Chain A
Amino acid sequence: MILLIIGIAANQLWELTFLHVAFGAGWTIIDLFLGLVLGPIMGRMSIPARIEFTTRLMPKMVLIMPTVVTVALASGWQLSTKLGTNLSASPTHGWLVASFIVVGVMAIIALGLLEPANIAVLVELKKRRPNPQVIERLMKRFIYSAGIIGAMQVATLVIMTKVATG
């Protein structure tokens, strides 16, 4: 977040591009990894192992994901403002609007399904005797949501490479 503030304040092309590419790639990779790799692995683990894994994963996710998403989006908007690609006269404006739509859908899934499930798991884990069935159900929702967002990230990659190459 400090890097983001410095990057936006400096408003230099390289810093903004670095932040947007690095954190955007991080966001995509984490979502795809959660949905397509960790999700199926967790599905085959025993319930106690799943709880153990969830207990260690979720507190980190609740910190990492909002940070990565905020840096990627804020630096992206600043970059598009600097390059003028968010102006309606820009030749790649249509692609930018498409990326707004993809990000909008991802935000709705993240805010409506993924984050509430994340918080609910953390609340359940703080109880003296966490309910494994509740954790399992919420984790399923979390992993599926992350998988859907990950798949949509592929559309973002297509759009962003198109915008970058003109």
Chain B
Amino acid sequence: MTEQRYPPITELGMLSLGLIVAGGIYLSSHIPQHVPLAPAIALLVASTLVLIVNYVLLRRVRDFAWERFFQVGRWALLAYVITAGMIEYAFVRNHLTGGPLVILTLSLVIYALQVPTLIGFTVARYDTSDAAPPATGSH
């Protein structure tokens, strides 16, 4: 099976998720003490930058099943917005406030955008029938 060469969308997506997970672990491991926010902010900013790079790289992909990507991606987005909302609700219910709440909320935004992107990308890159033209080259 020949396959078109794609930028490392999955790898970068996992890196972006890894950075926000590291920030979440850092914050949760300090409960209930006061926690310096700088490391968590740095991880969040790095994760956001990786997400942006991922979208730029994805935007430049040629001969891609964009229709399939958006078809799957928007349903996945709906599902992950709901799960992110549930997690956010748990944070608020547990009286999380201030800087940690802002950082974790923004981390959830990254999560709710990144995972549907990975799902849509994986489905679209292997889509060989309806939307995509025949793949060329090798991986």
Are B115's CB and A111's CB within 8 A? Answer: yes
Most chain A CB within 10 A, of B24, B68, B129, is at B129
Known: A104-B22, A111-B115, A123-B72. A97 touches B29 (CB 8 A): yes
Are B29's CB and A116's CB within 8 A? Answer: no
B32 at the binding interface (Cβ < 8 Å): yes
Are A129's CB and B129's CB within 8 A? Answer: yes
Are B17's CB and A112's CB within 8 A? Answer: yes
CA distance A131 to B132 in the complex (A): 14
Whose C-beta in chain B lies nearest to the C-beta of A93? Answer: B29
CA distance A96 to B21 in the complex (A): 15
Are B1's CB and A108's CB within 8 A? Answer: no
**Please, what's the 1-or-0 string for B20-42, where 1 marks a CB less than 8 Å from any CB in chain A?**
01101100111111000000000
CA distance A166 to B135 in the complex (A): 56
Q: How many residues of A contact B (CB 8 A)?
A: 29
B126 at the binding interface (Cβ < 8 Å): yes
Which residues does chain B contribute within 8 Å of A112, judged by CB atoms? 10, 13-14, 17, 118
Whose C-beta in chain B lies nearest to the C-beta of A135? Answer: B126
Q: How many residues of B contact A (CB 8 A)?
A: 30
**With contacts defined as CB atoms under 8 Å apart, how many contacts are there between chain A and chain B in the complex?**
76
Are B31's CB and A87's CB within 8 A? Answer: yes
Which residues does chain A contribute within 8 Å of B121, judged by CB atoms? 116
A133 at the binding interface (Cβ < 8 Å): yes
CB of B68, distance to nearest CB on chain A (Å) = 8
Are A101's CB and B25's CB within 8 A? Answer: yes
Whose C-beta in chain B lies nearest to the C-beta of A127? Answer: B129
Whose C-beta in chain B lies nearest to the C-beta of A123? Answer: B123
**Please, what's the 1-or-0 string for A87-103, where 1 marks a CB less than 8 Å from any CB in chain B?**
11000010011001100
Which of A87, A97, A131 is B129 in contact with, Cβ under 8 Å?
A131
CB of A121, distance to nearest CB on chain B (Å) = 9
Within 8 A of B (CB), among A123-139: 123-124, 127, 129, 131, 133-134, 137-138
B133 at the binding interface (Cβ < 8 Å): no
Question: Which A residues are within 8 Å of any B CB, using their own CB?
Answer: 86-88, 93, 96-97, 100-101, 104, 107-109, 111-113, 115-117, 119-120, 123-124, 127, 129, 131, 133-134, 137-138
Report the 5 A-B pairs with minimum CB-CB distance, sorted nearest first.
Answer: A116-B122, A112-B14, A104-B21, A133-B1, A97-B29
8 contacts between A and B (CB under 8 A): A112-B10, A113-B10, A127-B129, A133-B1, A134-B1, A134-B126, A138-B122, A138-B126
